[in-house]
Amino acid sequence: MNKKITVQFTLFTLGITLLTWGGMIILGRMGILMDDHLWLWIPFLAGGWSPTYMSYVLLKRHGEVSGPKEWFKNVFYVKAKLRYYLFAVLLVVLYYGTHMVVSGLSEMRPIWMMFVMIPVMLGGGGMEEAGWRYILQPELDRKYGFLIAVIVTAIIWFAWHVPLFFIPGTAQYLYLNLWMFAVRVLGYTFFFGAITRISGKAGIFLSVLAHTLLNSTAETFRLNHTWAATFVTFGVLVAVSFITILIYERKKNKELSMAT
């Protein structure tokens, strides 16, 4: 992969979102809302899936994949040790567990709802990772190191989400605080960076899985989003990410020294 793909992915993904979701913001100001006009789901989904389809388009254009079959094979590469799957699921446990300990729940819905929502949230968030964690963050990590990759990816990922907070009818518009969400995104990016660092080719799929579970679990556990819970959860995610990478790098260096 090369720098051109990363730059083009970022520009095209943000540009598409600006056009589609930006247009929906303008229409919303005019009283043209998603609840009343089903056709608005077309630009909504076009913006939401932009990281996914731009991942394929650019990788195909630059010869990194031969076609959709190879792209899907890479995104859904599931061969990984159990501990890597458990680490991906740990993101969900830490996020919701820490929030519940610090600020509790506003509502508890039936457990089955989170499982029913998994297929929906695969498309409603999970498949973003085919862009962010296939192209953007790993490439930045290789070139500039883990910390810079996290910061840059988090800024881009957050900027991509910002229009949702101004489109009437979205979950972000109704329920979330923009700046709390920014801290959340940064914490997620640390953890997703750790996932892709330690799990190799399976890192893309494990990120898709973790993102999907994060979104679907929200259907059962409705959190009280407070600043205290936001910052404590952020600290936990960052600490676990750094400790995991440190252990992984030490083990990797030890294996290399033994091999030589």
For 102-138, the pLDDT digits (tens) are 999 999 999 999 999 999 999 889 999 999 999 999 9
Q: Is residue 27 part of a domain?
A: no
Q: Is residue 23 part of a domain?
A: no
Determine the pLDDT at residue 251. 84
- Which residues of the chain are modeled with pLDDT < 50? none
Residue type, 99: H
Determine the pLDDT at residue 173. 82
Say if CB 238 and CB 154 are below 8 A apart.
Answer: no
Q: Is residue 134 part of a domain?
A: yes
Helix 227-259 vs helix 178-199: angle between axes, to the nearest 10 degrees?
Answer: 20
Q: Is residue 145 part of a domain?
A: yes
Whole-Å CA distances, 153 to 139, 189, 237: 10, 7, 16
Say if CB 229 and CB 102 are below 8 A apart.
Answer: yes
Query: What SS3 state is found at 224?
Result: coil
Q: What is the number of structural domains in the chain? A: 1
Determine the pLDDT at residue 260. 63
Q: How many residues does the chain have?
A: 260
Instruction: Please state, in angstroms and rounded to a whole number, the distance separating the CA atoms of residues 160 and 49.
Output: 11
Closest CA to 201 of 252, 243, 138: 138
Instruction: Please state, in angstroms and rounded to a whole number, the distance separating the CA atoms of residues 22 and 59.
Output: 26
DSSP β-bridge partners for residue 108: 221
Helix (H) or strand (E) holding 221: strand 221-223
Q: Is residue 24 part of a domain?
A: no
Q: Is residue 185 part of a domain?
A: yes
Whole-Å CA distances, 249 to 45, 194, 198, 229: 39, 11, 9, 30
Q: Is residue 2 part of a domain?
A: no
All residues at 6 or more sequence positions from 120 whose CB lies less than 8 Å from its CB, including other chains:
216
Q: Is residue 49 part of a domain?
A: no
Determine the pLDDT at residue 2. 81
Whole-Å CA distances, 74 to 6, 64, 173, 213, 224: 17, 11, 34, 20, 37
Query: What SS3 state is found at 225?
Result: coil
Determine the pLDDT at residue 12. 97
What are the start-end ranges of the H helices in the chain? 3-29, 41-48, 50-61, 68-75, 82-103, 112-116, 118-123, 129-131, 137-144, 146-161, 171-175, 178-199, 203-217, 227-259
Determine the pLDDT at residue 259. 67
- The pTM score is 0.93
Domain housing 201: 78-259
Instruction: Please state, in angstroms and rounded to a whole number, the distance separating the CA atoms of residues 209 and 37.
Output: 32
